[in-house]
Amino acid sequence: MYLQATLMNVWSPSGQTPLVRVDPGRAKAAFYGSLDLQTGQGLVSRSSGLTAQASAQHLDMILKAIPERPSRLFGDRAPWHRGEPIRQLVQVNPRLELIDYPVTAADLNPQEQVWKQTRRAVSHNHTIPHLPDLADRFELHLTANIFHNSFLERYGFFLVCPFLN
């Protein structure tokens, strides 16, 4: 996330072009997010950058948050979701399974809808002048809301699940 607001549907009086402030800086806040498909609850972590080490830390946070059950995580094939820190974490945690979505299949990833809803609620058309304040609001929205999705129903999870035990 950058401080630069993305614009959507700006209203102004007829003949008066709205003034939109632009932040020329390149400072950014990076977020990792995971969505529990059954509850709609998100887990989020903020990082100084998108790296394999930061990805591994987020995965470790998930394992600690859900210690009693196996975790099957779907990923979007981003380059920072690969690397030695992640291989090591998977190797020492057999209950963690990583599955990649097909290439260019963002529409399959429910987390993409979470990002979209949060950007719409927090970072589109915002007037927040400081990046840390904007990042705090972004993170609060991610942790304070339930994000409903139809992923499990769409792919027959509830039809198959009773037969898995």
Task: Among 30-39, 125-134, 152-161, name the one with the lowest average pLDDT.
Answer: 152-161
pLDDT for the residue numbered 149: 84
* Residue with more model confidence, 64 or 17: 64
* Residue with more model confidence, 111 or 124: 111
- Provide the percentage of residues in the chain whose pLDDT is more than 70: 90
Strand partners, 28: 2
145 confidence band (pLDDT: 50, 70, 90): very high
Q: Identify the CATH class of 30-148.
A: alpha beta
69/63 Cα distance (integer angstroms): 9
Every domain of the chain and the residues it spans: 30-148
* Cβ-contact 102, 109 below 8 angstroms: no
Mean pLDDT for 39-65 is: 93
Distance of CA 20 to the CA centre of its chain: 27
**What is the DSSP secondary structure assignment for residue 122, as one 8-state letter?**
I
pLDDT for the residue numbered 93: 94
Query: Taking the complete model, does pTM exceed 0.85, yes or no?
Result: no
148/45 Cα distance (integer angstroms): 20
Question: What mean pLDDT value characterizes the chain?
Answer: 85
Confidence check: pLDDT of 44 > 90 = yes
